[in-house]
Amino acid sequence: MNLSQFRPTLIAASLSLALALPLAVSAQQPTVEDAAAFIEEVEQWSREYGEYSARVAWIQATYINFDSNWLATRANTESTEKGVAFANRAKDFNDLELPPDMRRKIEKVKLGLNLPAPTRAGAAGELAEINNRMRSAYATGKIELDGEQVARNDLEEMMGTLRDPDRLQEIWTLWREVPVAEREDGGNMKSDYAAMVKLSNEGARELGFDDVGTMWRSRYDLPPADFAAETDRLWNQIKPLYDQLQCHVRAELNEAYGDDVVPLDQPIRADLLGNMWAQSWNNIYDLVGPESADPGYDLTGLLEQHDYDALQIVKTGEAFFSSLGFDPLPESFWERSQITKPEDREVVCHASAWNLDGKDDIRIKMCTKVNEDDFNTVHHELGHNYYQRAYQDQSPIFQTGANGGFHEAIGDMVALSITPEYLQTIGLLDEVPDASSDLGLLMGRALDKVAFQPFGLLMDKWRWQVFSGELTPDEYNDGWWALRTEYQGIRPPVARSGDHFDPGSKYHIPNNVSYTRYFIAHILQFQFHQAACEMAGWEGPLHRCSVYGSSAVGERFNAMLEMGASQPWPDALEAFTGTRQMDGTAMVNYFAPLMTWLEEQNADRSCGW
């Protein structure tokens, strides 16, 4: 789960590096004029340096060599240092009465700093060193299998394809040895994490927050405690759907592996779900999917049959947005995007959407292949691009999603409109399959999106407990598995103790990337989709709806997109959906036919754990 939209600005640049910086505002009480001048300085620097650092990052991603890596490292360091400086200056205006727009900008500058270092001498350098060690440990940790070192990507792939429970247990366990591997000085990732928590909490308190977890929750335009309650409310809306899915998956895995491996009265072994972290289960569709659930068409085959190439796939994605009333992509998009993998150099192929100048220089970076996955990905990435262009007139401080989940939700909402009806409309499919073909498609999507939700929620719940002191270092691992069992109904395949640090086996923990936004994005994409389908006058099953060609949807959609983060997210949500509250029932409605089928399958089973 990576962010697929990119424009580094000073308020988004910092993850860990920090310097001990003096306060820039004088000892006298700051004034509104001081705050206005500070905001103008932030905005001007962000426009100028943001574009520079974005262009450096683009070069580094599309021309990977020593020099581009050197430039990117330097640009990132400078952006981080400036972000730290601005965040520390912004706190000087904490007690000043400001107009709402100015107050929102000041808070955005403070909250853009992911891990705040204390201002005392040496603390920032110590925090940077700790975080660099954790990132390095994750990225460079060696894993040996059968006497040979194995690449992480290979191990992840093996978790999705192997069906030998003993082998899966071995790989799962080896992966989790890296976070507890001791260095020469006797430390490891777990001890570093505890030190990071202590230092960054000290910095958060200097910025006016109780702890880092409170600071992260403050990004969502609600009191931190209210936001935590909001995530619980959303989870409880979709939990019955997840419970039915978990029950069915456990029963089918029991059929495949037997009672000794998958007891029907216990949580599911985490290594059997097709993913290193059991966060997405689509790799085990062959074991748990409905029998004879044929979707009725093969999109990859249809693309090949109609002689699509990578460029045509992107043109088709643009045509989707044009059908909603959006202006065509600028010529520079076609001239400057990386649509296919160059043959003459190393590049980053991970799909991403970029805005390099905060205006019209929008691009995608992909190594597009002619297949179903990339057809869907193009529609998703272009959703980011149209969002970026829509909010270009906002302050640089507001040039991002309305909250952490909006950007990903926008792209995913668009991808939900790739239905058989849409494929028929654009000439790829001659005849739309009947509803009997939908069950397999819904199951595949549920194994990805529904199965993800409890993991998306508990990642930060665990961190909130750590930052608040509810979990001490000795309790880190026990607290982790308590949450995984409570929310996901899974268990480790082997005994774990307080000496382990299994949270560190997930990239986002040692790299300090908040995860709640992904949980929120999965809620919002279905809520956006349901609202759009209602605007378009769709009357059939929600999973069959495509809003292609609806100018009414496009007009309301753009009204939300152009707001960026300039208003609290409930305002942006209301502009499109007519409601100010996030709602998980849209996801439940989308999967209603699957829910009915799951309940039938589980009628004589004992569910729960």
Catalytic residues: 381, 508
Q: What's the count of helices (H) and strands (E) in the chain, helices before strands? A: 23, 7
Token duo for residue 98: 């400001």
Pairing type for strands 352-355 and 362-365 reads antiparallel
Token duo for residue 40: 């103008």
Instruction: Report in angstroms the alpha-carbon separations of 452 from 213, 246, 345, 371, 521.
Output: 22, 11, 35, 24, 11
Counting beta carbons within 10 angstroms of the beta carbon of residue 327, is it exposed (0 to 12), middle (13 to 18) or buried (19 or more)?
A: exposed
Pairing type for strands 268-269 and 5-6 reads unpaired
With DSSP H G I counted as helix, E B as strand and the rest as coil, what are the percentages for the chain, rounded to 5? 60, 5, 35
Q: Where are the beta strands (DSSP E) in 112-256?
A: 144-145, 148-149
What is the spatial distance between Cα 144 and Cα 25, in angstroms, rounded to a whole number? Answer: 54
Give 362's strand partners: 355
Range list of H helices, 372-415: 372-390, 406-415
**In this structure, what are the phi and psi dihedrals at residue 223, rounded to the nearest 5 degrees?**
-55, 140
Three-class SS of residue 469? coil
What is the spatial distance between Cα 483 and Cα 475, in angstroms, rounded to a whole number? Answer: 12
Pair 353, 6: CB distance under 8 Å = yes
Q: Where are the beta strands (DSSP E) in 249-300?
A: 268-269
What is the spatial distance between Cα 358 and Cα 335, in angstroms, rounded to a whole number? Answer: 18
Q: Which residue has the tokens 């929120």?
A: 520
Closest-CA residue to 588 (of 460, 449, 472, 405): 449
Closest-CA residue to 199 (of 134, 139, 138): 134
Closest-CA residue to 476 (of 174, 271, 194, 204): 194
CA torsion 480-485-489-490 (nearest 10°) is 60
CB half-sphere exposure, 332, CA atoms < 13 A:
10
Pair 192, 132: CB distance under 8 Å = no
Q: Where are the beta strands (DSSP E) in 69-206?
A: 144-145, 148-149
Token duo for residue 489: 């109904």
Pairing type for strands 490-491 and 268-269 reads parallel
Counting beta carbons within 10 angstroms of the beta carbon of residue 540, is it exposed (0 to 12), middle (13 to 18) or buried (19 or more)?
A: exposed
How long a stretch of residues is the chain? Answer: 609
Q: Which residue has the tokens 């005994």?
A: 495
